[in-house]
Amino acid sequence: MTAAKTPSEIARETLIRLAKSHVPPTPVNYQACYNEIAELPNTAVFPEQPLRHIARELSGHNPEQVRHLRSLDEAIGRRSWQGFEKALVAYIAVGHDHGHGGGSALSPALAAHLAHFVEGVQPVFSDESAPVAGLFADLLAVLRTMPVNEEKLHNLLAEGQDKVRAAVGRQLEVKHSLLKLLHLIIENIGELSLDDHWLKGQIDGLLTVITLPLNLRHLGEMEQRLRDVMARQGGAKDQAVKARQEMRRMLEAFVEHLAMINASSASFQGKVEQSAREIAAVSRFEDLTPLLADLVEATRIMVDETASSRQRLQYLQERVQASEAELVQLHLELDNASAMARHDPLTDALNRKGLDEALTREIADMRRKDTPLSVCLLDIDNFKKINDRLGHDVGDVALVHLARIVRANLRPSDALARYGGEEFVILMPDTDLDGGLKTISRLQHELTKAIFLAGKEKILITFSAGVAQLKADESGAEAIRRADRAMYLAKHAGKNRVMSG
């Protein structure tokens, strides 16, 4: 019988397999590969959209049901299985208590939606115990029998709470353990790669993106960012290798030339010693003439060779210095590649290139799912006065302050991009025009509460904004232009306003 592999062995084999398959080591890819090797189940992501669709189909027939529906919506927003289950059971129980004497409060359409939901989440628990699998089978049987037996449905949900909660807890423990292991491995790679400073951006990015809660959009963005950075670093590294090879060839020529100089010096020294011996043996003055002529000629040749060698060595030295400067520049490019790839270096918001890619992705997603997508263009009010009165350094800090407040109050699925100067664009998927206007109005309120300090001076930062919902046949650039026009209307209307475009 083969001994079970330790987590370290599985982790090492996972990294080797990802490398051989040329698959980027994103958390999703790593977890899937690790689970395959360890023969563990893959946990599915929280099905937020299907749950929201079900919640929208539910109606509050009394105040208690309305309250439970709010709890249901809040649980979906927190991505809490336990909260969703508790609120749904309470909603059904209230409906059962109030309508016990009448017919079923569950319409056939709602029962069908609930059955589809149970079918959707059933694979998540496919590797759990038989009682959990039996619970889902019983739920489907009740929901597909018209009229729905609410009492039996209520009992099943009540009896299954502990089973599902335990199953969810086990799967969460597996996910947390895998993330801790991945975090440890990434940190270890960073420690082992002290000489490769250009890896720092990738390591820091991976450590950030695997921090809970996981978000598929952020993982996808990080994967694309790493691909771009790796391509850029690959090109820079090839140039660095060529520069090193050229420097090696120049140093070899340098050493070879030094050897030639040494040989010439030794030959000249031998010639001088030979001439000295011959001069010492001369008895007649006239015999000195040819000896002195040979010595002068040898000296002239040595002087010429020395001058030529000096020029050659100076040329090689200049070439070596130029190659060193090129290598320094290439390493600087490698160090900055991650930060410059898709984000604005000042605010850490997406730059224009990052915005273009995010917009393309969200528009494709909008059309595939037939969901709304709204864009906002905002501009800081009186920003030029801040720069002129307090300086551009304070203006930069104000931009960072605004970006931080906006990011803290957006959903994980939303995206913030610096459009230029003091202008920012916000992408809001699954959001119609009214929802977009409410979101930006809320951001304005949160920004006015977060006082910006320039030294000891308190400065109120506000912005004017325009919001546009993308039309079915409209490009992202056209929607941003509509939002831009609405933003200027907001400016002219008195600033610190938001208007639709």
- Quick: pLDDT tens for 106-130: 677 777 777 777 776 666 665 555 6
d(CA 206, CA 27): 8
- DSSP alpha helices (H): ranges in 99-199? 108-121, 130-143, 150-192
Residue 104 has pLDDT above 50, yes or no: no
For 152, 355, 394, the CA distances from 486, given in Å and listed in that order, are: 55, 20, 28
Q: Read off the pLDDT band of 438 (50, 70, 90).
A: very high
CATH 3.40.640.10 is the classification of domain 352-500: no
**Is a pLDDT exceeding 60 seen at residue 253?**
yes
Closest CA to 95 of 122, 118, 72: 72
Average pLDDT, the chain: 75
pLDDT for position 204: 53
pLDDT band, residue 149 (cuts 50/70/90): confident
**DSSP-derived 3-state class of residue 11:** helix
> How many degrees, rounded to 5, is the angle at CA 232 between CA 230 and CA 233?
65
What is residue 483's predicted lDDT score, i.e. its pLDDT?
95
pTM of the model: 0.40
Asked if 105 contacts 114 with a C-beta cutoff of 8 angstroms, the reply is no
Whether the pLDDT of residue 372 is over 50: the answer is yes
Q: Is the dihedral of CA 251, 255, 260, 262 positive or negative?
A: positive
More confident residue, 211 or 345: 345
For the chain, give every domain's residue range: 48-174, 232-342, 352-500
Residue at token pair 């799967």: 171
Maximum Cα interatomic distance, the chain, rounded to a whole number of Å: 147
Q: What residue type is assigned to position 496 of the chain?
A: N
**At residue 339, does pLDDT exceed 60?**
no
Dihedrals φ, ψ of 419, to 5°?
A: -85, -25
Do 339 and 345 form a contact (C-beta atoms < 8 A)? yes
Q: Which two tokens stand for residue 84?
A: 């969703």
Mean pLDDT of 350-377: 91
- The more confidently predicted of residues 397 and 200 is 397
With a cut of 80, say whether residue 474 has pLDDT above it. yes
pLDDT for 116 equals 76
